[in-house]
Amino acid sequence: LDDEVNAPAGLLDDEVNALAGLLDEAALAGRAVPRLTGTADLGVPAAYQVQRATIERRLARGERVIGVKMGFTSRAKMVQMGVDDVIWGLLTDAMLVRNDLDTAGLIHPRIEPEIAFLLERPVRTPADAAAAVGGVAVGYEVLDSRYEGFSFTLADVIADNASACGFGHGPWHRPRDVANLGLLMEIDGRPVASGSSAAILGDPLRSLTAAARLASAAGIELQPGWVVLAGAATAAVPLPAGAHVRVAAAGLGHVEVTTR
């Protein structure tokens, strides 16, 4: 009864854990599942509970949270995915890609260019965000929706940790204005996406502030050493095996990844 009274969004702990288990097992098996909202009455608050439970399963396997990712912070992504609210997810150390990525166990991976922030101080409130930045870098995010057809509602994608799968970043640079940097992503030397960091809420720093707001509402303090991915400036593109991807941002250099 206590559980029932305390469950904020109408889902019992057992239901949250069962839905999280479906998504986590889909990720581990590399096999897509139907949208949760096809059968479960999932609102946004309950979806974040499911997301948190998927992260708990990763932590139980020894992973560590090392940052957060923002989603739908640009029109290009909202239009691509048909969703129009800013969301967030958590990044773990197992998601950090160094030089190459094995796509064999993934479902239908996509890649997108990102601006990344490195925090050097804890962020307790949105007002702390800008001063907490110790570095900025060009980055990329690999998305792999656990849903069939890479298709979902807002609540579904929140539960699925905002499609987070992997990420990487180039060398850290001292904090600087990143409001209007040209971004270019190439696969095997061919340009596949280009845009400006201004597409990210007008300035990626606003995305960091939004991350701080969402985190503080969820009772999570952003930690020193954490990475914050501000969200893509362009649509995501399919990421095949055997590809060489290069993402560059004006003034921030580039980052590369090879897939197997």
Residues lying near ligand OOG in the complex (CB under 6 A) are found at 69, 71-73, 77, 81, 112, 141, 143, 145, 157, 162-163, 231-232
Decide whether 166 or 231 has the Cβ nearer to ligand OOG: 231
One-character DSSP codes across 231-242: --SS--EE--TT
Decide whether 17 or 234 has the Cβ nearer to ligand OOG: 234
CB of 52 to ligand OOG, least distance (A): 17
- Residue type at 196 in one-letter notation: S
- Residue type at 182 in one-letter notation: G
CB of 57 to ligand OOG, least distance (A): 20
Structure tokens at 248: 């560059």
Decide whether 10 or 38 has the Cβ nearer to ligand OOG: 38
CA 208 to each of CA 94, 109, 141, 211: distance values in angstroms, whole numbers, following the listed order: 22, 25, 16, 5
CB of 238 to ligand OOG, least distance (A): 12
CB of 180 to ligand OOG, least distance (A): 18
Decide whether 17 or 145 has the Cβ nearer to ligand OOG: 145
* Among 238, 239, 256, CA closest to 247: 256
CB of 73 to ligand OOG, least distance (A): 6
Q: What does residue 3 show for φ and ψ, rounded to 5 degrees?
A: -60, -40
* Among 167, 182, 201, CA closest to 84: 201
Decide whether 62 or 166 has the Cβ nearer to ligand OOG: 166
Q: What does residue 27 show for φ and ψ, rounded to 5 degrees?
A: -65, -45
